[in-house]
Structures are given as C-alpha cells and as structure tokens.
C-alpha cells in the first residue's frame, strides 16, 4: 500500500518531530515511512538505552515506543522519559497481552496500539495525540469547579492552587468530567468521548481513572471527588461528598 496522500496535516502539526523506538527493523522502517509521508520529521532507535538518551537530546514532540525492547524495556523507558518532560507516548504492545497494555498506561503512556496494527491507524493516533497536546487547538475558557481550576489553553490543572502534572489522556479525561459535573459516565461512553474510540480495551479507562485519583484525591483508596457509581460508571463531584 502506498503512503502518498495518507494525511494532510494542519500547519501546527507539520514537521513535528517523532521518535520511533522499535527493535524490529521492518516495523520501524514501515512506521517511519508512513510518518514521514504524512509530513512529520522522524528519528528512530532500536533499544531502550538509546531511546532514553535520544529523547533527552532531540526532545521529540511524541514518542512511538515498543513495549518489548533489548536492554531497558519499553515500560521503564516510558517512565524515564516521562520523568524528564511531559512528552506524549504511544506504546506498541503484543496482541492479547492486556498486562502489557496496562503496564504501559501505568507508566504514563497516552495511548497504545496492539501488534499487528495498521500504519495508517498509527498515523491517525499520532495526529490525534499531538493535536490534544498543543495549546493552539485549545481556545476554550478556563473552568473552575470547587478546588479545581482547569486552564484549557495551557492544558494545566491546579488543585487548591497547586499544579497537578498530568499526561495528555489524564488531562483530557479530567477536562471532560469537569465539563460535566455530577453526571455519570460508563467506561464505554468515556472511551468514545475522551479517546474517540468506538470500541477498545475498557481497562484503558480504568487505569486512567486510578491514576487520576492518585493525583487529585486526598485518599485514592476512598475517593470522594472522582467517585464510582457501582454498576454504572464514574462521576465527578464539584465538592467532596460529606460523610458522617
């Protein structure tokens, strides 16, 4: 399949730098070819140590990262890269290995694709994640809800005046819930509204909810803001529930 005409990128995305990390030379070559044809700049490496060093040196706009790598594995690479800066990460995982996907999301990946995957789908995912990471695409007015202040234009969340570090998908999730306080959403609804997926692994939502709770709740094990409505879904309460 040819790659010409794959996507027409808006000016804000064209020439963004993508780091591709995969030890399978064939996969890496195909992914890089599709991304370049779409209008991105691309660098590639084949092992975890090189990925960490290269990400620090070239400061890519997004990383496409294989879960299984020689040397440092993809989950640890993701943790190290995310510890340095909030670069978006799309992780490539083995088909049917749910634990791999969850480990990647827990490490801070913003999205994942299971192998084998369509290179066209990967380009669309890269475009989607990058769009969400750029302030040019977020002209919305700030949102205040209880102790929370969400500045959509700068993609920043503060809780009682303290900035909260979030991944792109974590930010998208809390932003959606802040826009719809006290409404209950099932995981399928959140997957469609936040990720834009008509179907997918529902554990993606579960992991992101858990990560958000660890960052915004006084006690993540007993949430009072991002609560569970058993058998239905999740709800964001402007103010914590009052308990006897």
Q: Which SS3 state, helix, strand or coil, does residue 168 take? A: helix
Give me the pLDDT at residue 244, please: 35
Segment holding 49, helix H or strand E: helix 48-58
What global pTM score does this model have? 0.67
Give me the pLDDT at residue 242, please: 38
Give me the pLDDT at residue 28, please: 94
Q: Residues 6 or more apart from 133 whose CB is under 8 A from it?
A: 61, 62, 88, 155, 168
Q: What is the mean pLDDT of the chain?
A: 84
* Contact criterion met (CB below 8 Å) for 206 and 228: no
Give me the pLDDT at residue 95, please: 58
Q: State yes or no: pLDDT of 6 exceeds 80.
A: no
Q: State yes or no: pLDDT of 45 exceeds 90.
A: yes
Nearest residue to 101 via CA among 74, 137, 70, 124: 74
pLDDT, tens digit (0-9, with 9 covering 90-100), for 106-157: 787 888 888 888 999 999 889 888 887 765 455 577 888 888 999 877 788 9
Comparing 239 with 213, the larger pLDDT belongs to 213
Q: State yes or no: pLDDT of 14 exceeds 80.
A: no
Give me the pLDDT at residue 50, please: 95
Q: Distance between CA 90 and CA 23 in Å, rounded?
A: 16
Bridge partners, 228 (sequence order): 234
Comparing 200 with 30, the larger pLDDT belongs to 30
């Amino acid at each position: 399949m040819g790659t010409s005409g794959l996507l027409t990128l808006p000016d804000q995305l064209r020439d963004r730098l993508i780091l591709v990390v995969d030890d399978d030379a064939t996969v890496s070559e195909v992914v890089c070819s599709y991304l370049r044809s779409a209008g991105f700049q691309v660098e590639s490496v084949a092992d975890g140590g090189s990925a960490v060093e290269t990400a620090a040196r070239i400061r890519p706009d997004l990383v496409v990262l294989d879960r299984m790598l020689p040397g440092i594995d993809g989950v640890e690479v993701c943790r190290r890269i995310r510890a340095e800066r909030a670069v978006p990460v799309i992780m490539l995982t083995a088909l049917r290995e749910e634990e791999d996907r969850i480990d990647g999301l827990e490490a801070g990946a913003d999205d994942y694709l299971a192998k084998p995957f369509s290179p066209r789908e990967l380009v669309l995912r890269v475009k989607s994640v990058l769009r969400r990471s750029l302030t040019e695409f977020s002209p919305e007015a700030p949102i205040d809800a209880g102790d929370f202040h969400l500045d959509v234009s700068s993609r920043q969340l503060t809780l009682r005046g303290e900035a909260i570090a979030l991944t792109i998908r974590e930010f998208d999730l809390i932003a959606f819930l802040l826009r719809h306080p006290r409404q209950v959403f099932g995981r399928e609804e959140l997957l469609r509204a936040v990720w834009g997926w008509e179907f997918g692994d529902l554990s993606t939502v579960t992991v992101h909810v858990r990560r958000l709770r660890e960052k915004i709740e006084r006690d993540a094990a007993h949430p009072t803001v991002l609560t569970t409505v058993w058998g239905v879904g999740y709800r964001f309460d402007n103010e914590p529930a009052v308990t006897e």
